[in-house]
Structure 1
Amino acid sequence: MPILTKEQFEDLAKFDNNPCISIFIPTERAGKDVLEGKGRIHLKSQWKKAAEKLKEMGLDQDKISKIGKPVEDLLADSDFWRHQSDGLALFLADGFFRKYTLPVYFEEYTYVSDHFYLKPLVPMFSGDGRFYLLALQMDRVQLYEGNRYSVGEVDVEDLTPSQLEERVGFDYEEKNLKSKTQNETTGTTVTHGYGAAERDRKNEFLRFFRAVDKGLHEVLKDEKVPLVVACQDYLFPIYQEASTYKRLFPEPVPGNPSDYENMLALHSAALEVLKPHFDKEKEEKMKQFKEMNPGRTSVMVSEIIPAIYQGKVDTLFLQNREDIWGNYNENMASVDVQDGPSSANTSLMNLAAVKVIEQGGNVYLIENEFMPDNSSKMNAVFRY
């Protein structure tokens, strides 16, 4: 499953055309809903809404059909719908089409404007946890980059040895941590003690892991996110000894990586291990909001939006499943909040979220009852 990269997100944010169509739908991985074509039904419904909006904007049917051709192709692609995750995001314009199958649930939503609507995607790049996952086996080394909603493989084939024998010079399976002999009469296996053989074996693993660590340094040297390791339990202490990465997570993903059905299952297991870390990060940001003096926080949209454009916002909390509509005049640093969406205004939540992400800040989508200050749909912590 290809990851939605921050570069792709920023390209979508910079895309400037009229009209731009953003469509979000829930999808299903398997089961009855897939057989019944629920995903197709959702997409057909949302494209119909988009087409009606385009018609209201004055586009002729030929132009609408041209923009919607990729959607019609998807609706006819049976194989595509058999390989879905939890959500599908589509971005369309004249001569432009991008689709992202992602392990995050989207409510049905369609947005037509002169820019794309990216608010449902921003937690993938802020607050909710970017990390690296190292799947470590004696005959295979794989590195993944992920967050709570997506995961993709990072090519390290030219940087790390792919198996232990490349580093230690012989097939690791020819020796065991324990010396074993078989009773020819009973067929039972007799296991002898550890001793020197075990120490030699550990040294072989250590040499291999140091070579892996050295290769990973080329990818991780400037990173400040957790690296969680999936490996057999007895190997993890040895990798800890070999690793020089300062943010190596102290708990491994249990079990051999090959025991997991696929990359999504391994990703899910990694998230379970990392959950306390990411929950703590969000809780600390919320605690900051409540404990800082009033000059370092705000719940007023008229203050927060200009502060974002000045690069002052460190953390933005947005009420989930809600929006704020209006316009922002950057020259006047003034915000005009309006009652609802119209062809003359924009989503101020989308505007704010995208800008904070571009500046390297944190954005959290929070249910109303858990907002730091739920008297407002938008809360912010300032950098200064």
Structure 2
Amino acid sequence: MSLINEKDLEKLMNVQNKTCVSIFIPTQRAGKEVLEEKNKTHLKSLWKDVSNELKDKKVSEEVLIKIGKPIEELINDRAFWRHQSDGLAIFAAEDFFEKYTLPVNFEAHTYIAEEFYIKPIVPILSGDASFNILSLQVEEVKLYEATKFSIGSVEIDDLVPSRLEDRVGYDYEEKTLQQKSGASSMGQKNMHGHAGSDRERKDEILRFFSAVDKGLNEYLQKEKLPLVVACQDYLFPIYKEANTYQNFYEEVVPGNPSDSDMFGLHEKALQILEPVMEKTKLEKMKKFDELNNTDNTGASVTDILPAVQQGKVDTLFLENRSEIWGTYNEDNMNVTIQDDQQNGNYSLMNWAAKEVLRQGGNVFLIPEAQMPDKNSKMNALYRFK
């Protein structure tokens, strides 16, 4: 799975003054749709529409072939279509091609301009969205790094023992079987011995988890992201006892991790971490409400875009299912707005989002009903002077 990070986003934002094609499609991970290659068919249909539109725009045959070749190769890559997530984002231009398989439920959308359409993916890097998931079993330990919209494996084989036997010795499984057998055959006579074996087992698991904690700490301290643990309920108190990492989330992702794939763990973890991940957005929305109708907020596109250009925007709020078409002249800071997409205009939301992100600001896609100022599709919280 190709995840997207800040460097990828920067690379996309730096492609300009070329014919740029952005394609977003929803995809299915498994089931009948995958067997019937509906994801592949969907892209094929959208690419046909895009190529016809490029011809209408008088794009040369040479450029059209360069843009289309990697897309057509992807359409015919049967192995690729067997491993999908919830959404596929494609960015193609002359001598440029990138694709990202992401756990984001994109709406089908295409965009042709002299820049890529990055609005649907900007929330991936907005706010306090990054975190780690530790999938913990006595037979297997895995670490993932995730955002609200993405998840990927972290290689930790050199950092931690992969299973309890590796930490306490290979006689662990044999002793466990002996203890179970002895407990069932000796009944009540073995109750005290059984309690002792339970304590021994807990001590062994605690030593194993302490080794995991020690091995992970150096890696986790680099970015100090929140760590949420996915394990069975009886194991969580033992790991809490072993844990020394400060940014540890004291609520477990319940259930046996082996019963879920990586995406299932991601979904369960999001339910627990939602308050943490929404923290920055909620704080900025509250600040906008407190300062609304002052010089520290804006709801007019003609005011916001010049402020973006001047680096004055701290946080940009964009209505997620809407678009604002037009042009912005950076020389005289003049904004022209049109009702729909036309030759020569572009998404003003996309332009503003790119510039705010480039300056280190926040960008949030907000449902219409939750916009801070519902009278506008674009709101801004300005930097304090």
Amino acid at match of 1:149: F
Q: CA deviation at 1:171?
A: 4.7
Aligned letter for 1:357?
L
User: C-alpha separation between the residues in 1 aligned to 2:377 and 2:3?
Assistant: 30
Matches within 5 A, 1:229-240: 229-240=229-240
2:16 maps to 1:25: no
**Cα deviations by residue, 1:222-266 (Å, 9 ceiling, x for unpaired):** 425321111222222232233333221111111222222x21122
Match of 1:265 in 2: 264
Query: Are residues 187 and 65 of structure 1, via their aligned partners in 2, closer, same or farther at CA, if it must alter by over 3 Å?
Result: farther
Kindly, what percent of the aligned residue pairs are identical? Answer: 54
Q: TM-score, normalised by structure 1?
A: 0.87
Alignment of 1:1-384 (within 5 A): 1-127=1-127, 129-169=129-169, 171-175=171-175, 180-182=180-182, 192=192, 197-260=197-260, 262-279=261-278, 281-292=280-291, 294-384=294-384
Displacement of 1:145: 0.9
2: CA distance, partners of 1:36 / 1:58: 35
Note the C-alpha offset of 1:190.
Answer: 6.2
CA contact (8 A) 1:315 1:361 kept: yes
Work out whether residues 66 and 93 of structure 2, in 8 Å CA contact, stay in contact via their aligned partners in 1.
no
Using the TM superposition, give the Cα deviation of residue 186 of structure 1 relative to its aligned residue in structure 2, in angstroms: 9.3
Q: Which structure 1 residue ranges, 5 or more long, are not aligned?
A: none
- For 1:63 and 1:254, the matched residues in 2 are separated by 52
CA contact (8 A) 1:3 1:151 kept: yes
One-letter amino acid of the structure 1 residue matched with residue 130 of structure 2: R
Q: Take 2:198 and 2:187, find their aligned partners in 1: how far apart are those partners?
A: 24
Per-residue deviation, 1:268: 1.7
The verdict on how the C-alpha distance between 1:192 and 1:271 changes in structure 2, with shifts beyond 3 A counting, is farther
Greater shift, 132-141 or 208-217, is seen at 208-217
Q: CA 1:205 to 1:182, structure 2 compared with 1: closer, same or farther past 3 Å? A: closer
Is this contact kept in 1: 2:183–2:194, CA < 8 A?
no
Change over 3 Å in CA distance of 1:359–1:240 after alignment to 2? farther
Alignment root-mean-square deviation, CA: 3.0
| Change in CA separation of 1:311 and 1:60 when aligned onto 2, cut-off 3 Å | closer
2:239 and 2:177 mapped to 1: Cα distance? 16
Deviates more, 1:366-375 or 1:236-245: 236-245
Gaps of 5+ in 2: none
Change (3 A) 1:183 1:46: closer
CA distance in 2, matches of 1:131, 1:214: 19
Change beyond 3 A, Cα 1:336–1:210: farther
Deviating above 6 A after TM superposition, structure 1's stretches of 4 or more consecutive aligned residues are 183-190
TM-score by length of 2: 0.87
Paired AA for residue 30 in structure 1: A
